[in-house]
Amino acid sequence: MELLEKDLMSIQEVRLLLKKAKEAHKILATFNQEKIDRIVKAIAEASLQNAERLAKMANEETGFGIWQDKVVKNVFGSMGIYEAIKDQKTVGILREDKENKTMEIGIPVGIVAGIIPSTNPTSTIMYKTLISIKGGNCIVFSPHPGAKNCILETVKVVSEAAEAAGCPKGAISCITIPTLQATNELMKHPDTKLILATGGYAMVKAAYSSGTPAIGVGAGNGPAFIDKTANVKLAVKHIMDSKTFDNGTICASEQSVIVERCMEQAVREELIAQGGFFLNEEESKKLAGFILRANGTMNPQIVGKSVAQISKLAGLTGVPASARVLIAKESRVGDDAPYSREKLAPILAFFVEETIEDVIDKVVEILSFEGMGHTFSMHCNNDDLIKRFALRAPASRILVNTMGSLGGIGGSTNLFPALTLGCGAVGGSSSSNNIGPMDLINIKRVAFGIKELEDLRNNAANLLGDTKSSNNSPYCNVNTELVEEIVKRIMKQLI
Ligand SMILES: CC(=O)SCCNC(=O)CCNC(=O)[C@H](O)C(C)(C)COP(=O)(O)OP(=O)(O)OC[C@H]1O[C@@H](n2cnc3c(N)ncnc32)[C@H](O)[C@@H]1OP(=O)(O)O
């Protein structure tokens, strides 16, 4: 009974937030680029000023990650994003092509539903607010229940800053009673025009099934390949820095290292030299039992935890204090091989294959099992091989000679900076982009007439004439009589 009341209250709250957002959007939709940009700047600056406080709050509340790294994420989620979007034209007339006689006009989609994960809660609020408002949209957030307080506090910071800069009240808001019913109501409500879903499998699936257009981030599970041509020391440094950043909570971080047999020894030695701890068979089995929970999804007990915390949890007594990442040798991929899954923790699988072709096949197998369309990293100085992998790997981001986590989000690469990484059609997502304001607007196109029917007829006749006269024509093997007959009939229809 109590639960039902809570659910009803949360649904009512969502309806109220949407009503206010709708009112706010009527005003926001009239704002020109200059007014929008002023608000966006204020949001970024307020987020930056509160980066450390909010990072500490997120770490304390969720128990995930490292607060100092969350500061870096908050700075990235505020000023990093701002620098990339500040000069974008997003509302009003975007482009006028006098020569081709077309014009493009940016139109906000309206109200965005922002689903926020517990792994990157505060930085994702900053980022989603910035890209939504930049597109002239309102946003209503659904917080992960495990990060509700730090999320609400961040929403307070960004909404107050936005309002002080002229943003209408109600344009940025957040559910305070996070229930599944409330989140579903938000996603399915006709006033919600787009869902930006970042989170666990169930939540992203619910977003796709809601009937509202959704951009979702599925699971990551990126393997990292180290080739013979790589600088092994640097490659391992990149992987270790990436995997330990915020204790591995970024979904683009590496989940396995994969090498050819001839590289096994060198890579293994370098991993150990840089703080990798290879688990023996018994230790590997012990830890495997903690990677997933009973329902087959990632176990929050290991998410964003340090090696010391994970070792204690799994009763691994032989792990030295200097260990930075736990590594388990693996050869199988599947539900019965937990190390082949996504582990948002400093835990890596280590795959060894006989040939390059075997490596490519294994990369495809791993990503096809989990992480489809997300991210793949490789450390390699052979351009042909990079192209070969890039053409085959079912990932929207192929990262070369960089950290997976920070490379995927556009921190250590020139990818568009983002904390929501589209996984493309193969990953069930409507976009393969690093999501930005241009993904949150529609474009109206104005097109002036440039041809009359006679021009089209003449053009068709000319093309057919060319077809007859030129042996080099791509149509020379075509049955021209038949084509003429078809064109005649089409013209008759047109007349
Ligand atoms: C660029 C990037 O790095 S994006 C990273 C995004 N990736 C992720 O967040 C990783 C995927 N997340 C997960 O696997 C999990 O969320 C974990 C392991 C991190 C945390 O696990 P948990 O704390 O148990 O959270 P989980 O997501 O399973 O949800 C717990 C409950 O809250 C509910 N919940 C989650 N989000 C919401 C929401 N927005 N509103 C309402 N309820 C929610 C879930 O439905 C679930 O309910 P249930 O217990 O009744 O089934």
10 Å Cβ neighbour count for 99? 5
Q: Identify how many contiguous H helices and E strands the chain contains and give both numbers.
A: 18, 15
Which residue has the CA at smallest separation from atom 5 of ligand 1? 251
Ligand 1, atom 20: closest residue by C-alpha: 300
> How far, in Å, from the CA of 297 to the mean position of ligand 1?
10
443 three-class SS? strand
298 lines ligand 1 (CB under 6 A): yes
Q: Ligand 1: does its nearest atom lie under 6 Å from the Cβ of 146?
A: yes
The answer to whether the CB of 255 is under 6 A from ligand 1 is no
Nearest-CA residue for atom 6 of ligand 1: 199
Residues 188 and 329 in one domain: no
**Residues 213, 227 within the same domain:** no
Q: What is the CA radius of gyration of the chain?
A: 26
| Same domain (yes/no): 297, 393 | yes
Cα angle value 409/245/335 (rounded, 5°): 80
Pocket test for ligand 1, best of 7, 14, 74, 119 (most atoms within 8 A of CB): 119
Inside any domain, residue 37: yes
pLDDT tens by residue, 273-300: 999 999 999 999 999 999 999 999 999 9
Residue nearest to atom 50 of ligand 1 (CA): 180
61 Cα to the center of ligand 1, angstroms: 14
Ligand 1 centroid–CA 118 distance in Å is 7
Domain assignment of residue 426, yes or no: no
HSE-CB at 349 with a 13 A cutoff on CA atoms is 27
Domain tally for the chain?
Answer: 3
Angle, helices 121-134/148-164, rounded to nearest 10 degrees: 30
For 101: left if phi > 0, alpha if psi spans -120 to 50, otherwise beta; the answer is left
Quick one: 180 and 243 in the same domain?
no
The residue from 138, 167, 251, 380 that is catalytic is 251
Q: Is 306 in the pocket of ligand 1 (CB under 6 A)?
A: no
* Structural domain contains residue 378: yes
181 CA from centroid of ligand 1 (Å) = 14
The pair phi, psi for residue 102, each rounded to 5°, is: -135, 160
Sheet containing strand 92-97, edge to edge, reads 92-97, 102-108, 441-447
Half-sphere exposure of 184 toward its Cβ, with a 13 Å CA cutoff? Answer: 9
Name the strands in the sheet holding 138-143, side by side, starting at the edge strand that comes first in the sequence: 172-174, 138-143, 111-116, 192-198, 214-217
Tens of pLDDT along the chain (495 residues) come to: 455 888 899 999 999 999 999 999 999 999 999 999 999 999 999 999 999 999 999 999 999 999 999 999 999 999 999 999 999 999 999 999 999 999 999 999 999 999 999 999 999 999 999 999 999 999 999 999 999 999 999 999 999 999 999 999 999 999 999 999 999 999 999 999 999 999 888 888 899 899 999 998 878 999 999 999 999 999 999 999 999 999 999 999 999 999 999 999 999 999 999 999 999 999 999 999 999 999 999 999 999 999 999 999 999 999 999 999 999 999 999 999 999 999 999 999 999 999 999 999 999 999 999 999 999 999 999 999 999 999 999 999 999 999 999 999 999 999 999 999 999 999 888 899 999 999 999 999 999 999 999 999 999 999 998 766 555 555 455 566 777 788 788 877 765
| Ligand 1 atom index nearest CA of 117 | 9
* Interval between CA 205 and ligand 1 midpoint (Å): 12
Q: Is residue 431 part of a domain?
A: no
Query: Do residues 36 and 161 both lie within one domain?
Result: yes
* Alpha helices in 92-175, H assignment, sequence order: 121-134, 148-164
Indicate whether 61 and 108 sit together in one domain: yes
Based on the fold, state whether residues 210 and 255 are members of the same structural domain.
no
Closest to 250 measured CA to CA, from 418, 60, 427, 50: 418
Residue whose CA is at the smallest distance from ligand 1 atom 36:
144
Distances, alpha carbon 209 to alpha carbons 175, 188, 189, 200, in Å: 21, 9, 13, 14
CATH number at residue 383: 3.40.309.10
Q: Say whether both 237 and 357 belong to one domain.
A: yes
Rounded Cα–Cα distance for residues 417 and 440 (Å): 15
Q: Which residues pair with 225 in a beta bridge?
A: 258, 378
Tell me the CA distances in angstroms from 132 to 105, 116, 139, 286, 380, one per residue in order: 17, 14, 7, 44, 37
Residue 169: which of 178, 156, 180, 179 has the closest Cα? 156
3-state class of 271 per DSSP?
Answer: helix
300 Cβ closer than 6 Å to some ligand 1 atom: yes
Q: What span, in angstroms and rounded, lies between the C-alpha atoms of 35 and 180? A: 36
Asked if residues 413 and 261 have their Cβ atoms less than 8 Å apart, the reply is no
Residue type for position 264: E
Nearest C-alpha neighbor of 378 from the set 274, 224, 174: 224
Classify residue 184: in a domain, yes or no: yes
State the Cα–Cα distance between residues 293 and 289, nearest whole angstrom. 8
Pocket flag, ligand 1, residue 491 (CB < 6 Å): no
Check pocket membership of 313 for ligand 1, CB cut-off 6 A: no
Q: Would you say the ipTM is above 0.95? A: no
Of all residues in the chain, what percent carry a pLDDT higher than 90? 88
212 within 8 A of 230, measured Cβ to Cβ: no
Judgement on whether residues 85 and 102 belong to the same structural domain of the protein: yes
Gap from CA of 120 to ligand 1 centroid (Å)? 11
How far does the centroid of ligand 1 lie from the alpha carbon of residue 154, in Å? 19
- The residue whose C-alpha atom lies closest to atom 45 belonging to ligand 1 is 180
With b for 16 or more beta-carbon neighbours within 10 A and e for fewer, the 368-395 pattern comes to eebbbbbbbbbbbeeeebbeebeeebbb
10, 14, 144, 184, best to mutate for ligand 1 pocket (most atoms within 8 Å of CB): 144
Whether 83 maps to a domain, the answer reads yes
Residue 146, in any domain of the structure:
yes
CATH classification at residue 107: 3.40.605.10
The verdict on residue 427 lying in a domain is no
* Domain membership of residue 290 as a residue range: 223-409
Say how many Å lie between the CA of residue 206 and the centre of ligand 1.
12
What distance in Å separates the CA atoms of residue 346 and residue 61, rounded to the nearest whole number? Answer: 20
Whether 43 and 183 map to the same domain: the answer is: yes
Closest-CA residue, ligand 1 atom 26, reads 200
Other C-beta atoms lying within 10 Å of the C-beta of residue 469: 9
Which residue minimizes the CA distance to atom 31 of ligand 1?
A: 145
In this structure, the answer to whether residues 125 and 202 fall within a common structural domain is yes
Whether 251 lines ligand 1, by a CB cut-off of 6 Å, is: yes
- Look at ligand 1, atom 48, and give the residue with the nearest C-alpha: 180
pTM of the model: 0.92
178, 30: one domain: yes
The span from the CA of 118 to the CA of 235, in Å, is 29
150 carries an active-site annotation: no
Task: Give 354 Cα–ligand 1 centroid separation in angstroms.
Answer: 38
